[in-house]
Amino acid sequence: MKILFFIYTLLAMFTQNLFAQEMQVKYQNVSQEKMREQNIQIATLAAKEISKNLPQKIDKYTTLKSIENHNTTLVYTFLINDSRKSDTVIRKQDHTRMQKAITEGLCRSSKRFLQAGINISYKYLSEKSKNLLFRFDIAKDKCNYPSPR
């Protein structure tokens, strides 16, 4: 839970900062291509800013290793180091719980990013094997936002 709190707090602080710097868009006046270009720019700036303090130990088992943007998607890469469990056990025991918590948390903390078309992906790798344990891709369609009127 400490990891989720840290990530939500980090994203909320960064989101407020970005949108406070005159990067808000009036959707009705911007073409889809211009919107996409702006979203790539925002994702690039977000990745660059957050990367300044990485790697960052999140909790006893988790380290945020990197963040990068792939076009309009912010990709966070975490390492999980739990020598008590195999990769298979971690996948089996933790996938559903983590997916639910991360999806709900990002839908709340990153609402502006998601609604603007900037997606977020969390990749969890095993520290010891470097194998992919989980990948959670969050876009606004995964969130239960009310429809615009």
Question: Is the backbone peptide bond immediately before 148 cis, with ω within 30 degrees of 0?
Answer: no
Q: Per the domain annotation, does 120 fall within a domain?
A: yes
Count of domains for the chain: 1
CB 145 within 8 A of CB 104: no
Q: Per residue in 84-102, pLDDT tens?
A: 999 999 999 999 999 999 9
* pTM score, whole prediction: 0.76
Cα separation, 83 vs 115, whole angstroms: 38
Separation between Cα atoms, residue 64 and residue 82, nearest integer Å: 15
Cα torsion angle, 43, 49, 52, 56, sign: negative
- Average pLDDT estimate for 117-145: 93
pLDDT, tens digit, for every residue of 45-91? Answer: 889 988 899 999 999 999 999 999 999 999 999 999 998 999 999 99
pLDDT recorded at residue 42? 87
Residue 17, both tokens: 């900062």
Q: Looking at residues 8-25, what average pLDDT do you find?
A: 50
* Residue 148 lies inside a defined structural domain of this protein: no
Task: Give CA–CA dist 27/35, Å, rounded.
Answer: 8
Share above pLDDT 90 across residues of the chain, in percent, rounded to a whole number: 54
Residue 26 lies in a domain: no
Domain assignment present for residue 147? The answer is no
**Which token pair is 72?**
């309009």
Nearest to 117 by CA among 25, 49, 51: 25
Residue 128, pLDDT above cutoff 50: yes
Beta strands in 14-143 (DSSP E): 56-57, 62-70, 73-80, 119-126, 132-138
pLDDT above 60 (res 8): no
Within-domain flag for 9 = yes
**Domain of 122: which CATH number?**
3.30.300.250
**Is residue 63 situated within a structural domain?**
yes
Question: Does some domain include residue 149?
Answer: no
Domain span at 50: 2-21+31-142
* Residue 111 placed within a domain: yes
pLDDT, residue 9, reads: 54
Contacts of 27 (CB under 8 A, 6+ apart): 35
Q: State what percent of residues in the chain have pLDDT above 70.
A: 78
